[in-house]
Amino acid sequence: MSIDLPLAFAALMGLSILAYVVLDGYDLGVGMLMPAATHEEQALMVASIGPFWDANETWLVLGVGILLAAFPAAHGIVLGALYLPVAAMLIGLMFRGVAFEFRLQAQGWHRELWNWLFWFGSFLASFAQGAMLGRYVTGFESGFGFLLFSCITAASLCGGYVLLGAAWLVLKTQGTVRAKAIVWAGWGLLWTALGVLAVSIATPLVSSTVRHKWFAFPQTLPLLLLPAATLACGAAAAIALRRLHRGVAVGDWVPFACAVAIFILAFAGLAYSLFPYVVIDRLTLWQAASDPSALRFVLGGAVIVAPLIVAYTAFLQRVFWGKAQSGSYEQH
């Protein structure tokens, strides 16, 4: 049975980006929450993401690598239009990586400086990714309105990452950090709702194709299950956070599971809206794809690399499962 290679690579690229958003999203969120914590709490927060943060970025490398190798025509358009936010994201990730390592050896005001740079790198990378999302879903249109929309999606994605990071801290920490994280997650949930709503409204407005796919009633009525499920996950997260805040027995994993489900459902809705385009209403998967011989060659590497990344990610989660211990990544 023959494989539709462009479709297969699109699926792999989409899954890689989704994995990056969820996995690196929570440690970016933790980084943005650092200024709201005391020095002792910061040590526990760093310990909760220490074993994972650099490995999580591997998914971004895989996703961008697939875009370059499998869809070179789209790679030129997308990264050309997003040159500045991509550069900002990379600068943020570099700041974040350097600050994470240097803060471990620093003392006094130097450590405080690296903590702020860790926050700044996390915020800059997150804001740039949100700006890229806003530009992408509007087809790279120019104008003040589109710029404002990109800023809204950028702020909303930061809020979404704060939700993931706070929910991760609820899962991985104890004491005052966990108590504060419950409150932080509530604010992150509100910003996430704003971002999902903004993208849901904007995408049909800029594309008649997307509008027809979602509003051609009654054929599209079953699609209402997707936003309904997203609302249900948001409500479940809000209820769980409220009960945790009141001290009612709820599994610490519930807010994080709900947050991940919201991101997965929102991603599924966006994928449905854009398919089969790589660049909305301009370039389809098959138009942007490399020659079949090149795709077959790249596929050989992908079927080796992707399972290894999955296995390594699962291995890390298994080894470092459970509550984090303060000081695991601090100099003694």
Mean pLDDT calculated for residue range 100-105: 75
Half-sphere exposure of 236 (CA within 13 A, CB side): 18
Mean pLDDT calculated for residue range 212-222: 76
- Percentage of the chain lying above the pLDDT 70 cut: 96
Query: With the C-alpha atoms ordered 110, 115, 121, 123, is the resulting torsion angle positive or negative?
Result: negative
Tens-digit pLDDT profile for residues 132-160:
988 888 888 888 888 888 888 888 889 89
Mean pLDDT calculated for residue range 200-206: 78
Judge whether 161 and 26 are in contact, CB under 8 Å.
yes
Q: In whole angstroms, what is the distance from residue 41 CA to residue 142 CA?
A: 43
Query: With the C-alpha atoms ordered 320, 324, 326, 329, is the resulting torsion angle positive or negative?
Result: positive
Neighbours of 254 (CB within 10 A): 19
Tens-digit pLDDT profile for residues 165-190:
999 999 988 888 889 999 999 989 98
| DSSP state, residue 330 | S
Mean pLDDT calculated for residue range 121-127: 93
Mean pLDDT calculated for residue range 32-59: 83
Q: In whole angstroms, what is the distance from residue 92 CA to residue 124 CA?
A: 5
- Percentage of the chain lying above the pLDDT 90 cut: 22
Tens-digit pLDDT profile for residues 3-31:
688 888 889 898 999 999 998 889 899 98
Which of residues 127 and 291 earns the better pLDDT score? 127
pLDDT at res. 1: 40
For residue 259, which amino acid is it?
A
Label residue 124 by pLDDT band (50, 70, 90).
very high
Neighbours of 103 (CB within 10 A): 23
CA nearest 63: which of 23, 22, 16?
Answer: 16
Tens-digit pLDDT profile for residues 86-97:
999 999 988 888
**Model confidence at 312: pLDDT above 60:** yes
**Model confidence at 330: pLDDT above 70:** no
Mean pLDDT calculated for residue range 125-129: 93
**Model confidence at 2: pLDDT above 60:** no
Which of residues 263 and 219 earns the better pLDDT score? 263
Burial of 306 (0-12, 13-18, 19+ CB in 10 A): middle
Mean confidence (pLDDT) of the chain: 85
Residue 101 phi/psi, 5-degree rounding, is -75, -40
